[in-house]
Amino acid sequence: MHAYIASRISLPSHSAQPGLPNVFDPAPLQPVSFFPAGAEIYAQGETAGALYQVEFGAVRIYRLLADGRRQISAFHLAGETFGFEADATHHFFAEAVNATAVRVLRLSGGADMSHQLLPLALKGLTRAQEHLLVLGRQNAIERVAAFLVDMAERQGGLRQVELPMSRMDIGDYLGLTIETVSRVFTRLKDKGVIRLINLRSIEIVKQEVLQTLGE
């Protein structure tokens, strides 16, 4: 999909992370890697063994079918952690949606991290199961509404929501085509539910309507 080769620049980070409980302290500060838009963070089939915490930017986790159909199973925004697997192999691809910094937390063989990992895994599991309901049983408007509500919540519940990803990404996350995503945005705009500030940023005008549609 992307012939892009990641140009990683690792460097020790000095920024404290207020608000984000750094469960990995008091280990020495972990290195941060930068990825430009579209760069691969890891690929399906690669050996797993690190956790990744998004410092800024956004990451998409996805799988491909043989003919190129793509399903994005999750987006990860600043503060979120991803990369854990059931065995020693990555079963998904991870790519930077746009310019992204990721703190890499190597899992030292000895240390037992299950205490820290379990809540993250359970959170991910709940999210995936909720996404199953959306993909299995909701129509196009409901899917987009659920997506926007989720993105808004994860950005602190503000009226203005940033969408770092393209319509293609949104489509591949919601199981829709870009055309359908675009039409639904237009429909929600015409109904006065949202306002399109620019391509990658919307304002939620009627939060209740969106909420009701999405559930």
Partner DNA sequence: CTGGACACTTGATGTAGATCAACAATCCGC
Partner DNA sequence: GCGGATTGTTGATCTACATCAAGTGTCCAG
Whichever of 55 and 172 has its CB closer to DNA, that residue is 172
Q: Which does 112 bind (CB under 5 to 8 A by kind): a copy of itself, DNA, none?
A: a copy of itself
Q: Is 31 a residue that touches a copy of itself (CB under 8 A)?
A: no
Of residues 186, 185, 84, 90, the one with CA closest to residue 144: 185
Closest distance to a copy of itself from the beta carbon of 134 (Å) = 8
Return the range that interacts with a copy of itself (CB under 8 A); candidates 80-88, 148-156, 160-168, 188-196: 80-88
Return the range that interacts with DNA (CB under 7 A); candidates 24-32, 117-125, 165-173, 203-211: 165-173
Q: Is 167 a residue that touches DNA (CB under 7 A)?
A: yes
What is residue 87's DSSP assignment? Answer: S
In this structure, are strands 100-106 and 81-82 parallel, antiparallel, or unpaired? unpaired
Of residues 178, 163, 205, 150, the one with CA closest to residue 58: 163
Torsion of the alpha carbons at 23, 76, 122 and 173, rounded to the nearest 10? 180
Q: Is 83 a residue that touches a copy of itself (CB under 8 A)?
A: no
How many angstroms separate the CA atoms of 47 and 66, rounded?
21
Residue of 151, 176, 204, 210 interacting with DNA (CB under 7 A): 176
Q: Is 211 a residue that touches a copy of itself (CB under 8 A)?
A: no
Q: Which residues bind DNA (CB under 7 A)?
A: 139-141, 166-168, 175-183, 185-186, 196, 198-200
